[in-house]
A and B are shown apart, each in its own frame.
Chain A
Amino acid sequence: MHERSLAGALLKQVEEQVRALSGCRVEAVSVSIGEFAGVEPLLLASAVEELAQEGFAAGAIFTFAETPLVAECLQCQNEFRVQRFHFHCPACGGGRTRVIRGDAVIIESITLCDEVPANH
């Protein structure tokens, strides 16, 4: 997936959230990148850092955490970490499984300063 256009989408959504929260400066944004999201974390991080420089999020600290791919077995309800993209249940061997996390890029939280800046 294209990390640069994703970075743009991410920043746009942070901006929307910030406007809705009517806070002032964005201090920090925490992002989790699922290992099955189709995104290379380093590329996304550097694209975000580059694009964020000129804009409402300039100076904000972005942290990126990679989150594991976890699936649920539809046969025995076992939750398991998917290893090497083998989606069969390690407990019962069943092939019918459902991804429950690790396939998306998620804005986890936004930290805003509470004070309205002088030139707001």
Chain B
Amino acid sequence: MATRTINIQQDIQQNARAAAARLREAMTRRGTLVVNLVSSPGAGKTSLLEATARTWRGRRRMAVLVGDLATDRDARRLQPHVPAVQLTTGGACHLELPLIERGLAQLGNTLDELEFLFIENVGNLVCPASHDLAEHVRVVLLSTTEGDDKPGKYPKMFRGSQAMVISKLDLLPYVPFSIPAVVEDAQQIQTDLTVLPLCALSGQGIDDWCAYLDNERRRMLCEGESCNR
């Protein structure tokens, strides 16, 4: 029996990657910076978004897509402050692009002239690392209570992030957590990580976080265009 072997060389995620790239490009054209917030459960993603909304207090047009397995608790926390859509994954431990697209459809007109779209991913440092949600920036949150040896244990997540927020700074005196150690561990994996220690509850570091977001949006708007800074 004759056989023939055909060389394929196809990345099985090729279509998903291309779709994410197309959506990212569309968001760039709209002038909307898409930020994918990832972390373990309880690191403070929702609290950070609440603090961001409080600080900006309407001076920036932002919206949030929140992913969880169940409940709309996080969306309900955010809705008094900003437009927030809850995405419930059922059993899936991470968000994927089709669910994001559904969320965007639910935002409707809110999308018009939106400056910042935050995606609060499902609390999980593993699976979200492999799924492009059309974000411009991926921010990984690591709280002071989680230990300063975590980046090396989750290399794919830290490699794929552009910024690391060290949250719950107020608890630093009470836990054996070294900021220099965690920064060194993370930068072995991703040298370009911007490090942002903060406390969402007290507001410490939040101004720097907001300035980082503004700067990333400026960079997005300028990339590929002639831009007078």
Q: Which residues of A contact B (CB under 8 A)?
A: 1-2, 6, 9-10, 13, 17, 21, 23, 27-28, 36-38, 85-88, 95-97, 99, 104-115
Determine the residue in chain B with the shortest Cβ distance to A18: B6
> Which residues of chain A come closer than 8 Å to B6, judged between CB atoms?
17, 21, 109-112
Question: What is the distance, in angstroms, from A38's C-beta to the closest C-beta of chain B?
Answer: 4
**Interface membership of B229, Cβ < 8 A:** no
Are B127 and A2 interface neighbours, CB within 8 A?
Answer: yes
> Which residues of chain A come closer than 8 Å to B126, judged between CB atoms?
1, 38
Are A106 and B9 interface neighbours, CB within 8 A?
Answer: yes
Are A109 and B7 interface neighbours, CB within 8 A?
Answer: yes
Task: List 24 A-B pairs, Cβ < 8 Å.
Answer: A1-B126, A1-B130, A2-B92, A2-B93, A6-B12, A21-B6, A23-B4, A37-B130, A38-B126, A38-B156, A86-B189, A87-B188, A87-B189, A88-B188, A88-B191, A99-B159, A104-B12, A104-B13, A105-B13, A107-B9, A110-B5, A111-B5, A111-B6, A115-B1
The verdict on A108 contacting B7 (CB below 8 Å), with A36-B156, A87-B191, A95-B187 known, is yes
User: Which one, B8, B159, B190, contacts A109 given CB within 8 A?
Assistant: B8
Are B12 and A10 interface neighbours, CB within 8 A?
Answer: yes
Cα separation A59 to B169 with both chains bound (whole Å): 57
> Which residues of chain B come closer than 8 Å to A85, judged between CB atoms?
152, 155, 159, 188-189
Determine the residue in chain B with the shortest Cβ distance to A106: B11
Are A96 and B130 interface neighbours, CB within 8 A?
Answer: no
Are B3 and A113 interface neighbours, CB within 8 A?
Answer: yes
How many inter-chain residue pairs (CB < 8 Å) link A and B? 91
The verdict on A105 contacting B127 (CB below 8 Å), with A36-B156, A88-B191, A110-B5 known, is no
Determine the residue in chain A with the shortest Cβ distance to B96: A5
Report the 10 A-B pairs with minimum CB-CB distance, sorted nearest first: A95-B191, A85-B155, A114-B2, A38-B130, A1-B130, A111-B5, A104-B11, A107-B10, A107-B8, A86-B188
> Which residues of chain B come closer than 8 Å to A114, judged between CB atoms?
1-4
Main secondary structure of the interface of A (DSSP, over half): mixed
Interface size on B, residues (CB 8 A): 30
Determine the residue in chain B with the shortest Cβ distance to A10: B12
Question: What is the distance, in angstroms, from A75's C-beta to the closest C-beta of chain B?
Answer: 11
Mask for B93-131, Cβ within 8 A of A = 1, else 0?
100000000000000000000000000000000110111
Are A17 and B8 interface neighbours, CB within 8 A?
Answer: yes
User: Which one, B5, B92, B131, B192, contacts A96 given CB within 8 A?
Assistant: B192
Most central of A6, A86, A96, A104 by chain B CB within 10 Å: A104
> Which residues of chain B come closer than 8 Å to A96, judged between CB atoms?
191-192
Determine the residue in chain A with the shortest Cβ distance to B152: A85
